[in-house]
Amino acid sequence: MPCIKDSQVENTYSLQQSKRETMEKPSEIPETHHLDALVNRIEQKHHAFTRSQIDLLENLFVQIRDNIPDQLKQTFLALRNDLIPHLMKEENILFPYITALTQDLGHPPPSCFGSIANPIRMMKLEHDRVKALLDNMRNMTADYRAEAGSGRADLYTALKALDEDLVEHMHQEDDVLFPQALAMESSACHPHPR
């Protein structure tokens, strides 16, 4: 496995600081934001960050493998194994449908899943599992606080950055994107009489 470069760890610290600054501001995405733009933002910001952070974390786990509780590594692997196919389902099935729906409200696109409520229900169930795994990691790491001299500081910083981004990512989907997409599909399938 390749070694982690100082620049990768510095990028994690920069992303962590940027995340803190962003969290202190009101959400950048008002609820009336166009759904296709929100989908693009989720993919370009959160999905890209999740994938790069998973790669960084895999390398960190390898580098300090002798100094990591096995339960923490197994929980991270379960998180990774849940997230990668989850992101692919969103990017290849759900998000293209939402984008197509925004293009022509009068003619909802055909789907292999019936109502959009079906994949959204599945995504929310998967989010619940991710939240449980994150809770487990927070508990195992005392909220990502490494003991002095343990050699885990970089790992815990990277885990915390992933955790914080996933929380925001799931909020954007569960509380903004999904409800608006459900309402849009309902409106397209059952237009109000004029």
* 66-69-72 Cα angle (round to 5): 125
Q: What is the CA radius of gyration of the chain?
A: 19
Q: What is the DSSP letter of 92?
A: I
Q: Is residue 21 part of a domain?
A: no
The answer to whether residue 17 is domain-embedded is no
The pLDDT-based confidence of 132 (bands split at 50, 70, 90) is very high
Looking at residue 34, the DSSP 8-state letter turns out to be -
Q: Considering only residues 129 and 65, tell me which one the structure prediction assigns the higher pLDDT.
A: 129
Residue 188 structure tokens: 């397209």
Say which residue, 92 or 16, is predicted with more confidence: 92
Summarised one tens digit per residue, pLDDT across range 66-82 is 788 899 999 999 999 99
pLDDT mean over 8-37: 48
Average pLDDT over residues 150-162: 93
Higher-confidence residue of 102 and 190: namely 102
24 is a domain residue = no
Is residue 16 one of the residues assigned to a domain?
no
Q: How many domains in the chain?
A: 1
Residue 1 placed within a domain: no
Residue 22: pLDDT band (50, 70, 90) is very low
Overall average pLDDT of the 133-159 stretch: 93
The answer to whether the CB of 46 falls within 8 A of the CB of 169 is: yes
Residue 44 included in any domain: yes
Residues 25-44: pLDDT tens digits? Answer: 334 433 334 888 999 999 99
Q: Is residue 13 part of a domain?
A: no
Domain span at residue 154 reads: 33-189
pTM confidence score: 0.80
